[in-house]
Structure 1
Amino acid sequence: MKRVYVLVFDGYADWELGNVLAEVRRLGKAEVVSVGFTDDIVVSMGGLRVIPDMSLSRVEPGDVSLFILPGGYLWEQGYPTDELEPFLKGLEASGIPLAAICAATTVLARAGILRGRRHTSNSPAYLEKMVPEHIEPGFYVETLAVRDRQVITASGLGAVEFTVQVLEELELSTPETRKIWFDAFKEGNFPDDFAHDM
């Protein structure tokens, strides 16, 4: 499997990444690569200091199996769109999966990547407020996470559902194991042989 890349920046919502990064490493045996807009240390919303493995400009698209965008206040305040949008559009054009959760869904909307795709966000009103030019009510899905043609979007309340969509997109483990995982982490239903099944 190629690498899974995740964008980190000051104030990124670290808790939204906990499950998905752990499971792509554990179930998918994938290497996780952290990417910053620069090589500088960033501090997550929860106060974790992270040194990015590389800057965005050094990412080789052919090495990416999935690119993850976590939520964070940055997406509501301004970010280097001239660098990020062409990069994301290039991945999309190459059929490389993209995954965005919470406020990061607005990044894909601004880049035009959600146009004509089923998608979700924190709410329709939130997405319309943050990206007024993106109004596609027919494609908005009232669910915590959804996947459409290599693009995964999720509400900030849907980290578990987000993880399942990523596992399905990358075909990690079996449908049965993914259901056991979801029931365990969402509902607290641990089967007696949970560890064995996982």
Structure 2
Amino acid sequence: MAAKTVYLAVYPTFADWETGHTTAHLTQHGYTVKTVGATTEPITTMGGLRIQPDLTLDDVRAEDDDTALLILTGAQLWDTGDELAPFARVARTFLDAGVPVAAICGATAGLAREGLLDDRTHTSAISFYLDATGYKGGEHYRESDAVTDHDLITAGPTEPVAFAREVFARLGVYEGEKLDAWYRLFHDSDASAYEVLES
């Protein structure tokens, strides 16, 4: 069975605008997106939306044949305590199993605290944001919109389109000219890219 299930982590103050491009286009290409919370109690996003998680962290298995990706977004809670640390620990199980993890904004700090950025090339909001976590991966930090290092994708908070591009590339949703055209259309509003996507 092809890996087609994407797990989207959701938690209070979840930055709901950061994954819209990613999840919408994955869904249009045959992926199933399942929301995952610490519990199945509804959470309220930073944008004021209520989401009831489909599953809990305990239900998620990286080793399942249909598991394709774990997405972690920013949230105020990444910077105010350890409440979201269990999500970073689940990210470790995904990476250990060779299943991609995509983290944007504050989620990168959670991965840094978990030690997952110590030996992987990565990016975030800015280097000193991650330095404040006490992690040991500063030499692997890159000033870039988004970075992919094997199974780990990272991006800063202002780059949801670049984040989506890296996810699509890693999963093979778009490749080559079409990947470039998708990015030009949604990042640069380049109308000429539409024809390439439709070809």
Superposed pair shares fold, TM > 0.5: yes
Q: Which residue of 2 aligns with 1:128?
A: 131
Q: 1:75 aligns with which of 53, 75, 78?
A: 78
* Distance (Å, rounded) in 1 between the aligned partners of 2:179 and 2:57: 31
Q: What is the letter of the counterpart of residue 34 of structure 1?
A: T
Shift of 1:82: 6.2
* Distance (Å, rounded) in 2 between the aligned partners of 1:78 and 1:116: 24
Q: 1:106 aligns with which of 100, 105, 109?
A: 109
| 1:164 matches 2:180 | no
Shift of 1:195: 6.0
Change (3 A) 1:32 1:139: same
Shift of 1:127: 1.0
Shift of 1:77: 1.1
Q: Which residue of 1 aligns with 2:97?
A: 94
TM-score (structure 2 length as normaliser)? 0.92
Give unmatched runs, 5+ long, in structure 1: none
Superposition CA RMSD, Å: 1.6
* Distance (Å, rounded) in 2 between the aligned partners of 1:31 and 1:152: 19
Q: CA-to-partner distance for each residue in 1:30-73, whole Å, 9 max, x for gaps?
A: 00000011110011111111111011111122142100000010
* Distance (Å, rounded) in 1 between the aligned partners of 2:22 and 2:59: 23
| 1:115 matches 2:118 | yes
Q: CA-to-partner distance for each residue in 1:135-171, whole Å, 9 max, x for gaps?
A: 4332100001000020001000111110000001101
Q: Which residue of 1 aligns with 2:6?
A: 4
- Check whether the contact 2:5–2:31 (CA below 8 A) recurs between aligned residues: yes
5 Å-filtered alignment, 1:27-106, equals 28-61=29-62, 62=64, 63-80=66-83, 83-106=86-109
* Distance (Å, rounded) in 1 between the aligned partners of 2:198 and 2:81: 46
Change (3 A) 1:45 1:86: closer
TM-score (structure 1 length as normaliser)? 0.92
Shift of 1:194: 5.6
Q: Which residue of 1 aligns with 2:182?
A: 181
Change (3 A) 1:195 1:91: closer
Structure 1 stretches (4+) deviating beyond 6 angstroms?
Answer: none
Shift of 1:2: 2.3
Q: What is the letter of the counterpart of residue 94 of structure 1?
A: A
SS at match of 1:153: strand
Q: 1:19 aligns with which of 21, 30, 45?
A: 21
Q: CA-to-partner distance for each residue in 1:171-194, whole Å, 9 max, x for gaps?
A: 113321111110011111012636
Give unmatched runs, 5+ long, in structure 2: none
Q: Which residue of 2 aligns with 1:151?
A: 152
Shift of 1:116: 1.2
* Distance (Å, rounded) in 1 between the aligned partners of 2:156 and 2:43: 23
Shift of 1:86: 3.5
* Distance (Å, rounded) in 2 between the aligned partners of 1:97 and 1:142: 21
- Sequence identity (%): 34
Q: What is the letter of the counterpart of residue 165 of structure 2?
A: V
SS at match of 2:116: coil
How many correspondences in the alignment? 194
